[in-house]
Structure 1
Amino acid sequence: MTTTIAYADLAGLAGTDLGVTDWLEITQERVDVFADATDDHQWIHVDPARAADGPFGAPIAHGFLTLSLAVRFWTDLLEVEGVTTKVNYGLDRVRFVSPVKVGANVRMHAVVAEVIEVPGGYQLAVEQTIEIEGATKPAVVARGIYRFYA
């Protein structure tokens, strides 16, 4: 569910749990397209027959593919009204905790950890956890940094 907030209210968002996104299935097609985009065609990702005999028993998504979904998920969780520019400013920390098998469903849970004023806007530090449906450990934990300008 999307949280909608006015730009003027961003300063008070620290500590807010934005909840979770809907589940998204990681398909072989998505993995293959990412492999083509990044020129990372390692068999563990793109060769289902060989990967079935590999360490995970199936092909797995690239860690950076799973991480990149944070951008899609982030826009599902927070909408800030009254801004002229939204910037994905970067990441402070990233850990690839568990592999994501093709066919698995993932979603993101986000908590706004910190809000600071920057020239012309606000910067949010967001604790992001990309979860795997039915798994005890997440796929990715990261601290994303986003900027909003009025």
Structure 2
Amino acid sequence: MFEIYLILATCFLLPICFLITNNIIYIYHHLKFLNQIEEKTNIINTDNKHVLDIAKIYISRKKWLDCITILEFYMKQININELIILVQYYNYIGLCYQSVNIYKIATKYYLKAYNKAPYIKQTLKNLANIYKLSGNIKSASKINDQLTDLNKNEDI
């Protein structure tokens, strides 16, 4: 009887241990990556690629305010010729606001990204999605038409 109890307890605890171990490994790799970035560069002069990687980590861990704060800080330091990076910053900030259901501000950032580079598919997808979520179906269909035209032109 005691052996059956141990077998049942083991069967119940093994999946829990597996999930906990995977999360610990995941967090360890993120912290290791952040430490590598900190050792390589000065915090103020961090490369934009590293900033985007850090933002992805914050987004995956649902640290929306941290992500918005770091992107807003580094957005002020971007050169004018780094337009694609700026558009990615706007998209990530919009995603953060969208994740906490603040659709007006998310739309504002997606529109900033759209105004900087109206030909980027991810920006168009994000903008169409936020219009759908906020109930603006007319604008969503208009953006979807632009996305369809962009895809047709790409195929040609």
Which structure features the higher share of strand residues?
1
Q: Indicate the TM-score class for this superposition, using the shorter chain for normalisation.
A: under 0.3
- Name the larger-Rg structure: 2
**Please, what TM-score do these two structures have when normalized by structure 1?**
0.22
Higher relative contact order (CA 8 A, sep 6+): 1
**Please, what TM-score do these two structures have when normalized by structure 2?**
0.21
Which structure features the higher share of helix residues?
2
